Amino acid sequence: MTSPQQPVPARPTSRDVARAAGVSQATVSLVLGGKWPGRVSEVTAQRVRDAAAELGYRPNLAARSLRLGRTRTALLVVPALTNEFFARVYAGAAALAAEHDFGVVLYPSPDGTGPARDPFASARAALDGVIASSMAADALDALHGADLPLVMLDSDPSDTGPAAHVNLDIADGMRQVTDHLLGLGHRRFLHLASAVDTWTFAVRAEALHDALGEAGDATVRTVRAPLDVGAGREAAEQALAVTGERPTAIVCDDDILAAGACKAARRLGLRVPDELSVTGFDDLALATALEPELTTVRLPAEQVGERGMEALLAVLDGRPAEQGGLPVELVVRGSTAPPPAARA
């Protein structure tokens, strides 16, 4: 004989909390909504919090969303999750969002950095806002006219369209790379640049040329390649095979291109760093998988995601978003050394 099913205990309500704390439901709403300062005493607020904890009360987020006209959901648009950097951006955004009862819907552009299909053809109302990488700008075309607050990551701060910008100090990172190589004695440079036309790569190129221009006696040649190891290898190999004085250092726009440059050097019989120094940008896991390990610029990807979510929350609350770029750090490893002439 089977025993009768036990009734499922009813979920505690704000009315239960009010009764247990000896206050009104309005007071419970003020306290648990964080709007009690100046309206409710600290003693009363604590009594409400204690009662809610004892009863195991959790706010009904769906009902609150309907009341406030909010879904507590953000869309994060990135070019592709095959790039570790953007996976870490998502991790940072999602962790902070969870602390504020927000969800993050991830939308990687299916074509990498190209145009994307509409991620929410019939569900724009299911979003409170959008956080997007400038490298996935084309993917945002589908959301034009949706009237959603937009926070741009790693994008031109002079663009007045987005509600907020979150940037890294990319120019300083490239200056750190250049200062390091100049300090080692390098004067002939090859810039292996990304073929992706975005603000972040334009800043890297400008900072590199400015720093080398200040050196006075340095030269630089630029070749471009898609963000792919094979394409980087091919572009670097062709550039290094050109007759004339060979560059002693290759400055790459990211670690993926740097891996291609290292492969090109190996195919041409050039030893890194004895005959050719190579630098990257991003500090992906790939940087320490190479041999020698890659000198590169570490970007705080998780902080980019966190700051992006913080900015969106600020915009939704009518507060100014935090200003200023996030600092980056040069990590010196085995792929850089003085040029052969300086060691002779």
Q: Residue 61: its pLDDT value, please?
A: 45
Q: ω into residue 273 within 30 of 0, thus cis? A: yes
**Helix (H, G, I), strand (E, B), or coil: what is residue 286?**
helix
**Confidence band of 65 (pLDDT split at 50, 70, 90):** very low
**Alpha-carbon distance values, 224 to 133, 169, 206, 238, 242 (Å):** 21, 22, 15, 11, 15
pLDDT value at residue 216:
87
Torsion of CA 327, 201, 313, 164, to 10 degrees: 100
Say if 70-167+299-325 and 168-298 have the same CATH topology.
Answer: yes
- Could you tell me the fold of the domain covering 168-298? Rossmann fold (3.40.50)
pTM (two decimals): 0.75
Q: pLDDT of 291-341, one tens digit each?
A: 999 999 999 999 999 999 999 999 988 888 888 889 999 999 999 999 987
Please name the residues in contact with 263: beta carbons below 8 A apart, sequence gap of 6 or more.
Answer: 229, 232, 233
Q: For position 114, what pLDDT does the model report? A: 46
Spatial separation of the C-alpha atoms in residues 265 and 190, rounded to whole Å: 13
Q: Evaluate if residue 248 carries a pLDDT over 70.
A: yes
CA dihedral defined by 118, 123, 129, 131, rounded to 10 degrees? -30
Which residue type occupies 47?
Answer: R
Q: Express as a percent the part of the chain with pLDDT over 70.
A: 84
Phi, psi angles (nearest 5°) of residue 282: 125, -40
CATH code of the region 12-58: 1.10.260.40
Q: Per the CATH hierarchy, to which homologous superfamily does domain 70-167+299-325 belong?
A: Response regulator (3.40.50.2300)
More confident residue, 119 or 258: 258
DSSP bridge partners of 222: 191
* C-alpha dist (Å) from residue 97 to 94, 103, 118, 142, 207: 5, 6, 23, 24, 34
The domain spans of the chain are 12-58, 70-167+299-325, 168-298
